[in-house]
Structure 1
């Protein structure tokens, strides 16, 4: 792992320093999975007779709020338990989880603002499955960042 800042020279290779990869899950990640595993049956039990038809934009906004809320709870718990850590590298990046959540939230609110009246019917089973998918995606997305770098001729970049 390099503690050096990312080289931003125009002729620098497009690379991002990667921290050492760990094997297995941290204790707090096992706890998060346990909380998800307990919350989903509780949600199913509480909504088993539900028949809900929110507008599509509202559903997108609610899903985004759950996605962002999961990350917020995770970050607050981490700060309370571990405290604030000193940065070891400097990198212009965005948290993928927050970026996806904010874009989806804005999209949902825009759909509501545009007056889209299309409704989505959810049963308790579907709502629980949707929550499970969102929480699983949030759990995976927490470890990714979007690196920001200006590249004038980005059409010449090979992805992969």
Structure 2
């Protein structure tokens, strides 16, 4: 149904001689394939991506030894919006996105030349318990969700401009 609605909408726009620079949608696989084959540049809605990741992380944060993730949920949600809004290319989006895995461990320099260091000033932390540690179940689960192959591919295509959440 979504694909058919998109086809009809694009036909209407085409009939009125409207040319598209890009389109912002959710990550529906049929829509992706259709737009790719039509040669239309597609971006993904940040709200949909954030909602899906938040659901996964919320579920994980209820597992024993992973409750520390709850402290990071808001920061991760904010990070995805910041990543989309401040990046100019797919590789830069991915570099900024994956930097959160360093940030949650209190590491603020990164190996990726697209985003070599956090932009915030370095602060002394009062609560050393909030940081995650490599090798712990919480960090392992977080890394698994945030750096999955499909997630990284889709992060590169996040819309820097427009969102569809107001239509929901």
TM range (shorter): under 0.3
Higher relative contact order (CA 8 A, sep 6+): 1
TM-score by length of 2: 0.27
